[in-house]
Every structure is written in structure tokens, then in C-alpha cells.
Structure 1
Amino acid sequence: MASSGILLVDKPGGMTSHDVVARVRRAFGTRKVGHAGTLDPMATGLLVIGIEGATRLLTYIVGADKTYLATIRLGSATTTDDAEGETITQADPSALTAVTETAIATGIKALTGSISQVPSAVSAIKVDGRRAYDRVRAGEEVELAARQVTVSRFDVLAARREEGLVDVDVVVDCSSGTYIRALARDLGDALGVGGHLTGLRRTRVGGFDVADAVGLDQLAAAQPLSPAAAAARTMPVLEVTPEEARDLRHGKRLHGQADRLTSSEVAALDPDGVLIGVIEARGNDIKSAMNMPEVQ
């Protein structure tokens, strides 16, 4: 049986997240593989993959903040809000003279902080059981509801101006559920020239960084993070005694121990450093919210 763990994979462009999961399943000889957050086919970068029992940790990773590097092209809008779509508007080159550094900074400031965002139609959100991007690419009209997201950093790294367009390289720190395509679209709309994404790379998911990820050609020799190591990057850790570990594994509460917890979700480790599971307070007690399989 494949060992349980969290594998960090650097997804190449042109593949779906499901394609990567299929490759990991073959490499590790198990069907029990999942991921913590889809990357669309055009995007590259970090996929957090759970293998065997560690798939239980994905629930706690999927909602983590994320970091992206992106290139926004100002001057045209597309049907998919990225370079794979058909151009639907093209700004007159004279209109781009108003797209100054100051104007771009003002537009970005309005898209920073807690904002209401309508996700790009080309997203992994399911509409009546099908991914929105599948419906759009099949020629269907898709309307998605606005949602509150947080963009904590939206910084310009570089800008290049050519005739008829301005390419802006940015770095974005954001809450889970934020769509960078939508930021590109909305920035272009705010500047009156249209905008779409020409490049997108996810570099961080919570405590996991793409610098630690492996490429698909390295899967055969890849060593996943242990569940304990992965949990420690995701939440605070509490070391428990052998007796407490046994009780937690058997579903018993640790009575009157809630003040030992420093967060709403804490990883419990036994004296051997093995992850027991995720624990939480229930009144004055500690109880298990999720138990890991004892064989990891």
C-alpha cells in the first residue's frame, strides 16, 4: 500500500488538476488521491496532493490563503478572461494613453482588501453538476453569483507597454475562492480598456510553497510530507501523552483540557511524532474532529 502523505506538485500548463491526480495515482499505485484546490488548465504551479489517509487533511488545507504570480493584459477582453478565449473587445490604442501607472495603481487599490467579486465564468465552480469552464467552452452562457473575497496584496512587479496593449506583471495574496481572472477582467473594466489574463502561476497554498514541489517527471522518486509534517504547516500542534493519544483515537474526550488549545483546529501528535488527528474544543473538553488511520 502507498504510504500516507502530502505531495507538492508543480502542475504544468495545459493539464487539468484531475490529469495530475491520475498521474500521481499511477506513480504511487493507489486510487486514494485527492487535491486541495483546483488549478485551471492554463495555470501552472502548486497543487497540494493528498495520498491515502492524508487525504483527510485536505479539508483543512483547501481553505488556506494563496499566492499567485500573474500577467494581466490591458487593452482587450476575451470570452474566458484569459488568453485562451476569443477577443470580444479591443481598445483603441489612443485609449491606452490614459492607462498610466497612477491609473493602474488606483484601479488595483479598488480591488484590494475585502471585495465583492463575480467569479470568472471560466472557473471550476460547478453549475448544475458541470464545471463552469466546461459550459463556457461548450458555448453556453454562464452567470455566477458574486462572493466576498479578500485580496490582502495586489502589487505590480513590472509593466510593459506595446502598441495597443499594456502587460502588467502582478503578485496577489488572496483568500481561498478568489479568481485572478476576475481581477484581470475587473481591472480592465475599471480602466475602460478591457483586460484578461495571459499567465497565471500559483506559488503558495497556506504553509506550502511551490519551491518545495516536484515536477511530473520526478513523481517516481518523490517523497511526500508525512501527515504530521503537513499538519504542522497547516495548524498549531499539541503533543499528547500515550494515554491521551489512545483516548483520542478511541473517540474519548480529554476532560477539562480545552485551555491547552491555541486555535480552533489543532493537530494532535503522539509521543512518536505520529499524527493522531485534528482536535477541537467542545466546552471545557478536547475532542477529535478528525482521526487519522493508525497505519500511516
Structure 2
Amino acid sequence: MTQPVTPGLVVVDKAGGITSHGVVARVRRLAGTRKVGHAGTLDPMATGVLVLGVDRATRLLGHLILTEKAYDATIRLGIATNTDDAEGEVTARASAGHLEEATVRAALAEFVGDIEQVPTAVSAIKVDGKRAYAMVRAGEDVELKARPVTIHELVVHDVRPGELEPDATLDVDISVRCSSGTYIRAIARDLGAALGVGGHLTALRRTAVGPYTLEHAKTLEQLDGDFAVLPIADAARAAFPAYELDAEQAQEVRYGRRLPLEIDALTAVFAPDGEFLALYEPRDGVARPVAVFTG
């Protein structure tokens, strides 16, 4: 007899070289269901935290996408590429050997806060119904509009001669905590432009998506041997403020009704037995359902 699918999240430590879609396909087989989605892709080159939803927990992912993310990255100054990372073709070179570490650090400090960022051209953003990355690969020129993002924190760990052409390039190790929708490749591109030498990303590892970190993550190889899902109730408690309902309130939630709850933000509400029922938000003096997960 087939075991029922457990709704919840799977936090994967993605390896380099595999696409996010490839990870989803593997988890679909392990979970025994096609109802698997992810909360934001990682490029094939990138590694680290990829949060997947299984069964009705896929509906939770759209709300997780709004949370902040964290990355470790290495920027190479002195070389620009058409993808803003090491997988692209070199488009320009200019020696970065003359740059002082203090100059690089000061330039990166300018990225912290609320900024307008032009996404990298090889993003999944649609232009006239087509993915930007597909247009670039087809040889088309792509111009994307700047959009607001927030860099909460940017820590510079090291500035050193580059592993490639050490006399002409600099490698810069950084950690970034930012809003969803921020492109770390674009930071590398824009840093290189600001310093007049070009820049691209040589390594990227996502260390957190909201409350889910590398400590929660398992590699695909580990999941092959021990497939486990973080139950949807535990996932909701980790990501949102929690509100414990009484039996009458829980029944109202099952009907999708508004409630006179005192909440300040998007909140996960739970039945007396601990079942996760819904996400509610404060609006017009009452709590209104954003998504109901029962049934």
C-alpha cells in the first residue's frame, strides 16, 4: 500500500552543476509525488540552500519568497562576462592590480541599504513573454529595468590577488544578507563598473532562505538514504509568528472567515491540537485569511 505523502518542506544543500529543476525532479521521485515546487531558483553554478515544498506545502512557498536570503560569494575584479559569472564569455578586461583594499571595501559599502538594482541579463525575468536568459543565449540584446532591493548587510572577508591572473585581478570574498529578488551577480557586475575594471562572480553559496539555513539542509545523496520532510506545521512555525486558536476560532478558519485576532503581521494560525490551518494578515482592523491549508 502506498504511504500518503507528508506535506512539508525539504531543505536541500544543492551541489554545483545541477539545475534547480533537476533537484525538484529528484525530490519528486523520492517523495512519490509530482507536487513539488521550490522557493526561488539557484543557478547551476551556485550551491547551498534550496527550499522545496511537498504536496500542499507548495502553497506556502509563495509567501516564503518574500523573506530575506543570505549568501557567501567571491567576486573577481578585472574581468567582465556576459552572464556576470564565471560561466559566461569574457566581454572586457582591465587590470585591477592597482586597486587598494580600502577602495574596494568603500565601494562595496555603497551597496548597503535600499538600492535600485538592474537584474542580471541572464535572469528568468520575462521580457515580452520571453525569459531574459533565453534571449541572451539567442544573441538578442536585453535591457532590464532597475528595481528596488534591500541589502541588509554586506561583509567583506578578504581582498586578495586573483587566482586567475594575480597581477591583474582581485578576488573579493563577501557575505550578503538581502531581500528576495536581489542578484549577487549584479553586485559583482556593478562593483566592477564602479571601480572601472569590470567584475563577475566566481563562486556563490546560498546560506539561508528566511529561517532555513545550511544547518537544516541535506544533500541529495543524504536524502537518497534518509528522505525526511519538515512537517508543514513546523515549517510554518519557523517562518511566521504563530497564533494558537481555540476550537471555535479554528472552525471559523476552516470556513475561511475573518477573525478579530490581534496580530501585527502575516501570521500562522494553529488549531488546539497543533494543526497548521492558515496564514492570516491584519487588514482593516481584523485578521483576514491569505491562504488556508486545510482540506
**TM-score category, normalised to shorter length:** over 0.9
The reply to whether residue 27 of structure 1 matches residue 23 of structure 2 is no
Partner of 1:204: 208
For the aligned residue pairs, the C-alpha RMSD in angstroms reads 1.4
Residues 210 and 130 (structure 1), Cα distance of their counterparts in 2 relative to 1, 3 Å cut: farther
Pairwise mapping of residues 249-268 of structure 1 onto structure 2 (< 5 A)?
A: 249-254=254-259, 257-258=260-261, 260-263=262-265, 265-268=266-269
Q: For the residues of structure 2 that align with 1:13 and 1:131, how far apart are their CA atoms?
A: 22
Q: Which amino acid aligns with 2:218?
A: V
Which of 225, 228, 236 in structure 1 is aligned with 2:233?
Answer: 228
Q: Deviations over 1:98-147 (max 9, x none)?
A: x1111101210111111111111121212233332232223222111101
Q: Give yes or no for the alignment of 1:246 onto 2:275.
A: no
Corresponding residue for residue 274 of structure 1: 275
Structure 1 residue 192, shift from structure 2 partner: 1.0
Q: Does 1:96 align with 2:101?
A: no
Partner Cα distance (1:126, 1:45) in 2: 25
2:268 counterpart letter in structure 1: A
Percent identity between matched residues is 51
**Partner of 1:170 in structure 2?**
174
Q: Is the contact made by 2:264 and 2:282 (CA closer than 8 Å) also made in structure 1? A: no
Q: Given that residues 253 and 288 in structure 1 are in contact (C-alpha distance below 8 angstroms), is that contact kept between their aligned partners in structure 2?
A: yes
1:237 aligned onto 2:242: yes
Residue 71 of structure 1 is aligned with which of 47, 69, 74?
74
Structure 1 window deviating more from structure 2 (219-228 vs 28-37): it is 219-228
- How far the C-alpha of 1:149 sits from its partner, in A, is 0.9
CA contact (8 A) 1:188 1:194 kept: yes
Q: Distance in 1 between matches of 2:185 and 2:108?
A: 14
- Relative to the length of structure 2, the TM-score reads 0.93
5+ long unaligned stretches in structure 1:
none
CA distance in 2, matches of 1:266, 1:60: 11
The corresponding residue for 1:113 is 113
Deviation at residue 41 of structure 1 after TM alignment: 1.5
Distance, in Å, in 2 between the alignment partners of 1:241 and 1:11 is 40
Distance 1:168 1:271, change over 3 A: same
| 1:282 shift after superposition | 4.2
Which residue type is aligned with residue 81 of structure 1? Answer: D
Q: Do the aligned residues in 1 keep the contact of 2:19 with 2:43 (CA within 8 Å)?
A: yes
Letter in 2 for 1:217: E
SS of equivalent to 2:222: helix
Helix, strand or coil at the partner of 2:97: helix
1:84 paired with 2:84, answer no
Aligned residues: 287
After superposition, the C-alpha distances for 1:262-286 in whole angstroms (9 at most, x for unaligned) are 32x1100111111001112343433
Task: Please state how far the C-alpha of 1:183 moved relative to its aligned partner.
Answer: 0.3
Specify the alignment match of 1:43 in structure 2.
Answer: 46
